[in-house]
Copies of this chain bind each other. A is one copy, B any other.
Amino acid sequence: MLGAMQEFELRVPRLVEHAEREYPTREIVTRWADGSETRTDWAGIGRDSRRLAQALERLGLKPGDRVATMAMNHARHLVAWYGTMGMGGILHTINPRLFPDQLAYIGNHAHDRVLLYDRAFQPVVDKLKSEWTTIEHYVCFDDPGPHGFEAWIAKEDGDYAWVEGSERDPCMLCYTSGTTGNPKGVLYSHRSSMIHAMSEVQPSVFDLSTRSVAMPIVPMFHAVGWGIPFSAPMVGLKFVFSCVNDPAVLCELMNREKVTHSAGVPTVWFAMFQHMDATGAAPDHLQLVTIGGSAAPRSMIERLMKMGIRVNHAWGMTETSPIGTVGARSPDWDELTFDQQVDQVSRQGRAPFGIDMRVIDDEGRVLLRDGKSSGRLMVKGPWVVDQYFEEPHRAVDADGYFDTGDVAVIHPDGTMQITDRAKDVIKSGGEWISSVELENAAVGCAGVAEAAAIGVHHPRWEERPILLVVKKPGADVSEGAILTHLAGHVAKWWLPDEIHFVDELPHTATGKLLKTALRERYKNYTLKAA
């Protein structure tokens, strides 16, 4: 049969060309670590990306070679993404907050040939240089001298034709910071990144257009910067970057540049609230805030919503590029009470087109979407990992689903709610107790700064929860007060058997509670009442 539509490989350089052609003067603003600011635009990003591609080829890099970055959010980091992918390379974003042995491991495992880094991470680079065996070239993004990034790419003329190929070629590599074992790499393709971007800009996901002014506070090294560096040139939005996360700086920038969209982990908004309370300032132009990385507390959602801001509560992971679900509003949103709206946003949202999610029990049976049946969250889709980088086995089950390691329920309206990490669930008498729900309830108690719930051995119930609590400075909170507070939020049989006050809790490099260390510490613990 004769007849066809045009061929068009979904490759990242198409994004850059589009932004250059349709939005050449839309700005990219960077506030650097030293307080200085620079402005460029999509025409400038395109030109510099071509220059970088030329500079990388001059170093002898070939398609498929890895170029690593260790950097905050800024225009040059963006250029590093598009320039590397545009010459067919694989951009490897390194999370500088990982532990040194993890950093050494992933640099070598990825076979990085070039490292582009911020001066702020010079000490890390100096420490690891002798351990990285494959990196041949180091270039500092914000070194203003003759060996810095700007001087390096300025030698090139930008007259460059992007490397073409299959949309299934890899373009990016990002390692997960697991709590056990070595980090694993997710190898994204041009195709997966582009389809993810097309999904992300839609109204029920990040709602992005050229009218948007976006300040991603989530770092570009954290789970593909939540995909925003790919969505941005697709719609030609204005970018506002800050290399520091001081809320005073962020708030001032947001107001001056009229930032409409922002995205970050809950910690970012806690800090912003403190700044608002202390100064009376507030980000006045924000329309939509996406919160992910870990669950947003209800009080945070309420406060942002009362400011007139749409809150997008999202769930995802490095393995899902990272959008899994987002808090798209339901059709009956306008008829809901404020409390019902907050209830809806408190869940982790809905699956956009492309994501097929389900929860299964320990025997692999698919559970009902009844808002009660809790099980392992499994996902499938064009931007979900199939096989980790250089791992011999596929990372999916026989039906093609990836096991997220999260425990969740799906409600009848399609909203998903994370209840725990699978390995953190406390199994008491055959029933599951969510450690996350216990912890979230506990931090709502006055005087509690942080809490961790873990299961410890119990002769009758197999496991029972205990709660480890860090008090707020100067606070005087009792075990009884916490239990009374918890009793108003969780089922009675969920109440922890013991509460221990501790000075601090262990964390992973990315700030998550290190439950493995706690479980290790309590593995031979005997409950007093048992």
Contacts and interface: CB of A to CB of B under 8 A. Distances in A.
B2 A392 contact: yes
A380 interface: yes
A195 B192 contact: no
Output the residue of A185, A195, A353 with the most chain B CB within 10 A.
A353
A478 to B, nearest CB: 46
A414 interface: yes
A510 interface: no
A235 B203 CA distance: 9
A353 B8 contact: no
A186 B3 CA distance: 7
Interface string A154-196: 0000000000000000100000000000000111110110010
A374 B17 CA distance: 23
A199 interface: yes
A491 interface: no
A351 interface: yes
A456 to B, nearest CB: 38
A529 interface: no
A21 interface: yes
A40 interface: no
Given A210-B331, A396-B6, A18 B387 contact: no
Given A5-B192, A414-B22, A210 B201 contact: no
What is the size category of the interface that chain A forms with chain B? 35 or more
A386 interface: yes
A328 interface: yes
B1 A388 contact: no
A246 interface: no
Contacts of A321: 5
Output the residue of A1, A392, A400, A402 with the most chain B CB within 10 A.
A1
Copies of this chain present: 2
- Dominant SS among interface residues on chain A: loop
A385 B235 contact: no
A4 B387 contact: yes
A253 to B, nearest CB: 17
A408 interface: no
Contacts of A354: 8, 18
Interface string A208-233: 11110000000000000000000000
Contact of A5 (B202, B234, B351, B384): B384
Output the residue of A195, A210, A333 with the most chain B CB within 10 A.
A210
A245 to B, nearest CB: 26
A386 B7 contact: yes
Contacts of A14: 353
A361 interface: no
Interface in A1-46: 1-8, 10, 14-15, 17-18, 21-23, 26
A266 interface: no
A198 interface: yes
A203 B208 contact: yes
Contact of A386 (B6, B387, B391): B6
11 contacts: A1-B389, A2-B387, A2-B391, A5-B187, A5-B321, A5-B382, A6-B382, A10-B195, A15-B353, A26-B331, A202-B203
Cβ-closest 4 pairs across A and B: A3-B187, A8-B382, A5-B192, A3-B389
